[in-house]
Structure 1
Amino acid sequence: MLTLGIDTATRVCSVAVCDGKKILGSLDVNVGLTHSEGLVPQLETLLAMARVKKEDLDLLAVSRGPGSFTGLRIGMATAEAMAYALERPLVAVDTLAAIAYNLPVAGVRLTPVLDAQKGNLYVGSYRWTGDHLEEMEPVRIAPAKELAAQLQEGSEPAILMGECHRVPGTEECDRVTLAPESARLPRGSSVAILGAAQYVPEGDIHSYFGMDPFYIRRSEAEELWEKRHPEGR
């Protein structure tokens, strides 16, 4: 299955096209461009270099969060528009699961984290069982200062992924290591492969423009609006 994967949940804009688990092409850009500036040209470059026509795609997969509110909206809106124009199915993939998929290592707790602002982190917990990635706990928000201690108390070694530099104290945890930098952040290829794996032709995934980002919490703009308009709650 020829699948296009899009991830804009972090500062990195990552896109890839895969044939099953084979990566035909992948582009990761982390040079300060906004996703609104870079995503569409990046997709065009990727498909041209991989020699894949948009019309040949079988499926589109997009990262749904958690992550940057603005980044997620841009990625999902672009994926929805492409899927609608091409009349192709579209699936949404959990961002932290896609990060964990980058590192198929058994016997450890993969712990991808992303910045949730105000000293908090989005935290996931995954384990590989054979060739299957298993979610050990639901994605949650945790204070960054407490996460290192929680990982140290765990029953198995942990590997931090994602925005690891935002987790204070991890350098002192003998049961916690950092994933290689190349595996830490989301990849469009992981989104594409996971999307193809969870694709169900009979499922309700053909309705475009109806997908909801997985934010966990509301944006600061929404919280500020509610404070100013308590009657609108």
Structure 2
Amino acid sequence: MATILNIETATKNCSVSLAKDGVVLAIRELNDGNYSHAEKLHPFIQEILDETKIKTSELDAVAVSKGPGSYTGLRIGVSAAKGLCFAFDKPLISIETLTSLSHAISVEEGLIVPMLDARRMEVYSAVYNSNYSQIREIKAEIIDENSFKEELEKGKVYFLGDGAEKCKETLTHKNANFIDAKFPSAKEMAVLSYDKYKKNDIEDVAYFEPFYLKDFVVTPQKKKV
């Protein structure tokens, strides 16, 4: 038996779930178009602990979405997860954000391409088959009319995530299917974190860092005239 707290903050969806053996017992999430993680994350954690009457000390592990995604969002989620692990001496499990997002849909055949918005026409993406096996590495790429041409020629491709929305007008192949309103969620993390827990696939709490994929760049503010 394993009770795991799952934390997802890689995108605008602030999401927390508590699961036992991969089955979600309680979940809280908010995707209001803003990054509200700093205000909502810790209250959400406390709410689901209160709802399930489970104490933090009774957790078997804490899982966190590792990225790629929002730099600030990832920092908030990872900091919270590491803080709980340090305070209560719990193992830390990391889940790739795109892998978790791929599990938001189920298809009998074809490919699943989860996409996260990386500004302008750039996205973070990976390619998975219908069994959720990753068949192409995670990339930061600029989308044009030739993107995923090889995959689309072979059969149906299902695009999802906030990065997919802006690609609809560019990826117009007949085999391109766009799934709306799907974001990385702590709901899909539950099964993935339990699988890792059973394998003792855990992180070094002291040295673990999010997977940013790209370096964080600070844009200087324009001087007022």
* TM-score between both structures, scaled by the size of structure 2: 0.87
Alpha-carbon displacement from aligned partner over 1:138-162 (angstroms, at most 9, x marks no partner): 0011212346563773412111111
CA distance in 1, matches of 2:66, 2:167: 23
Would the aligned equivalents of 1:160 and 1:177 in 2 still touch at CA under 8 Å?
Answer: yes
**1:22 is aligned with what amino acid?**
V
Report SS of the residue matched to 2:190.
Answer: helix
CA distance in 1, matches of 2:160, 2:110: 12
Would the aligned equivalents of 1:65 and 1:95 in 2 still touch at CA under 8 Å?
Answer: yes
Alpha-carbon displacement from aligned partner over 1:134-187 (angstroms, at most 9, x marks no partner): 101000112123465637734121111111212142673321112252xx1111
CA distance in 2, matches of 1:135, 1:201: 19
Alpha-carbon displacement from aligned partner over 1:59-112 (angstroms, at most 9, x marks no partner): 111001000000000000000000111111011110000000122323121100
- The correspondence of residues 50-199 of structure 1 with structure 2, limited to 5 A, is 50-129=52-131, 133-146=132-145, 150=149, 153-163=152-162, 164-169=164-169, 172-181=172-181, 184-199=182-197
CA drift at 1:40: 0.4
Distance 1:146 1:4, change over 3 A: farther
* TM-score between both structures, scaled by the size of structure 1: 0.84
CA drift at 1:202: 5.3
What residue number does 1:15 align with? 16
Higher mean Cα deviation, 19-28 or 1-10? 19-28
Report SS of the residue matched to 1:102.
Answer: coil
Report SS of the residue matched to 1:64.
Answer: strand
Report SS of the residue matched to 2:72.
Answer: helix
Instruction: Give the percent of matched residue pairs that are identical in Structure 1 and Structure 2.
Output: 25
What residue number does 2:217 align with? 220
Distance 1:33 1:57, change over 3 A: same
Report SS of the residue matched to 1:216.
Answer: coil
Over the aligned positions, Cα root-mean-square deviation in angstroms equals: 2.2
CA distance in 2, matches of 1:96, 1:136: 13
Alpha-carbon displacement from aligned partner over 1:47-66 (angstroms, at most 9, x marks no partner): 21233221221111100100
CA distance in 1, matches of 2:147, 2:119: 17
Higher mean Cα deviation, 58-67 or 159-168? 159-168
Higher mean Cα deviation, 86-95 or 186-195? 186-195
**2:3 is aligned with what amino acid?**
L
